[in-house]
Amino acid sequence: MTASIRTLLGATALCATGMAAAAETTLTIATVNNGDMIRMQGLAGDFTAKHPDIKLEWVTLEENVLRQRVTQDIATKGGQFDVMTIGTYEVPIWAKQDWLEPLDGLSDDYDAGDILPAIAGGLSIDGTLYAAPFYGESSMVMYRKDLMEKAGMEMPEAPTWDDIAKAAEAMTDVSAGIYGICLRGKAGWGENMAFLTAAANSFGARWFDMDWKPQFDTEQWKTTLTTYLDLMGKYGPPGASSNGFNENLALFQSGKCGMWIDATVAASFVTNPNDSTVADQVGFALAPDAGLGKRGNWLWAWTLGIPAGTDAPEAAKTFIEWATSKDYLALVAEKEGWANVPPGTRTSLYENPEYLEAAPFAEMTLKSMEAADPTNPTVDPVPYTGVQFVAIPEFQGIGTAVGQQFSAALAGQITADQALQNAQTLTEREMKRGGYIK
């Protein structure tokens, strides 16, 4: 498959044989090593049984490595992949550059209208879908019911940051190895900055004002960062500045965290008795707010898209339809139980009584997703879209660099003020370089 792309690109002599074997199509699929994708890989036999003429090759990589590999490949038109797993951040940017094949002409069975509107909106340009969501997520509070009970407290369904601080204090028991709250601290725009940007929204902070001027010198950002550092300093686990989603998941599953504010998809992992020592003790609540009308929860989806220039757009589309269809959800349900189906993509899933019964977190997940609004993410107006990211190409670099500063503040190497000041300076610098501000 990739061989014949190369032939098209001009290295004719080397690859002439690639064309001859066109009867069987091979799709190279790049994906993240998250649990739901690994499961998809395991169930792919169903797809190849239905489409014996399509062969699947998987490239499964850790998230950051994957992102770098696919971005580099699509931007240089390397043609290594036929289906790419990309996030809601990439899709609109790439679609605008015509790097993605539009997903039009999907079959009626597929029922594209069933995709959750908040997600579909972020993946479409002028009403055309450019990638199909494989799973979607928001963030919420996951807490230990047993520990809360022991402390004689109750978690409100829609807590404030003060409630969180109180609960964290009550649950922390360092001598027993229990830390009141676990939050992301590992630097990265998709790691600690996803949490902090979403949290900042709830404190009325924003990345840029309407003139694209960075806002880290505002009081709201200071409140955000000091609240975070305070919580983590007093009640967080050691080594928090290198904890990302996966590290925290492992901590929570092994019973070391009282609370964890993170992706809603984690709910099915922490309630799975095979992996989690606290499976039957997990409660859920909305992400906290500060009474300003926005909650600190994000909106994200991992999606499957087709890079422009692939020589098997039809086969790729067939695969994407299979992987993101209602039938796929039913297939996972049949093999692994409803609680394990990839969540957050289809309205019909949240109307399915079997799912609602099997997944105690379903209602809170849907509520959280509905509470996030990528087009209007902040208290004050902003020139960008995206809840926990800013949908401009420069954001990955800036977000990660700012994340490094906040991570350093969490590790105690610099103060909150220094971190904010550094963040402001480096963001201004990059925005100048990008030509957004003078």
In the window 268-297, what residues touch other proteins (CB under 8 A)?
Answer: 269, 275, 277
By the rule CB under 8 A, 127 interacts with other proteins: no
Angstrom distance (rounded) from CA 389 to CA 62: 20
Beta bridge partners of 29: 58, 83
Stretch that binds other proteins, among 117-125, 138-146, 233-241, 314-322 (CB under 8 A): 233-241
Q: How far is the CB of 240 from other proteins (least distance, A)?
A: 8
Stretch that binds other proteins, among 9-17, 164-172, 358-366, 375-383 (CB under 8 A): 9-17
Residues between 244 and 263 with contacts to other proteins, criterion CB under 8 A = 244-247, 249-251, 253-254, 256
Which of residues 17, 128, 242, 375 is near other proteins by CB under 8 A? 242
Angstrom distance (rounded) from CA 299 to CA 287: 12
Select from 106, 52, 58 the least CA-distant residue to 83: 58
Instruction: Tally helices (H) and strands (E) across the chain.
Output: 19, 10
Residues between 394 and 413 with contacts to other proteins, criterion CB under 8 A = 394, 396-397, 400-401, 404-405, 407-408, 410-413
Select from 168, 332, 335, 204 the least CA-distant residue to 346: 332
Q: Which is nearer to other proteins, 38 or 292 (CB)?
A: 38
Q: Which is nearer to other proteins, 118 or 402 (CB)?
A: 402
Residues between 157 and 216 with contacts to other proteins, criterion CB under 8 A = 177, 186-188
Select from 86, 56, 57 the least CA-distant residue to 71: 86
Q: Which is nearer to other proteins, 256 or 295 (CB)?
A: 256
Q: Are 316 and 131 in contact (CB under 8 A)?
A: no
Q: CA torsion, points 194, 62, 130, 122, in degrees to nearest 10?
A: -10
What is the per-residue binding string for other proteins in 328-367, x denoting contact by CB under 8 A?
----------------------------------------
Enumerate residues 6+ apart whose C-beta is below 8 A from 77.
9, 309
Q: How far is the CB of 130 from other proteins (least distance, A)?
A: 16
121 half-sphere exposure, CB direction, 13 A CA radius? 13
Enumerate residues 6+ apart whose C-beta is below 8 A from 157.
285, 286
By the rule CB under 8 A, 9 interacts with other proteins: yes
Q: Which is nearer to other proteins, 356 or 408 (CB)?
A: 408
Stretch that binds other proteins, among 2-10, 199-207, 228-236, 311-319 (CB under 8 A): 2-10
Q: Which is nearer to other proteins, 187 or 364 (CB)?
A: 187
Residues between 376 and 395 with contacts to other proteins, criterion CB under 8 A = 393-394
Angstrom distance (rounded) from CA 3 to CA 14: 9
Q: Which is nearer to other proteins, 58 or 327 (CB)?
A: 58
- Other beta carbons within 10 Å of 104: 11
Q: Are 73 and 80 in contact (CB under 8 A)?
A: yes
Q: How far is the CB of 98 from other proteins (least distance, A)?
A: 9
Q: How many residues bind other proteins (CB under 8 A)?
A: 81
- Chain centroid to CA 221: how far? 23
How open is the CA angle 75-81-85, to the nearest 5 degrees?
85
Residues between 306 and 335 with contacts to other proteins, criterion CB under 8 A = none
Residues between 47 and 106 with contacts to other proteins, criterion CB under 8 A = 57-62, 65, 68-69, 71-73, 75-81, 93, 97
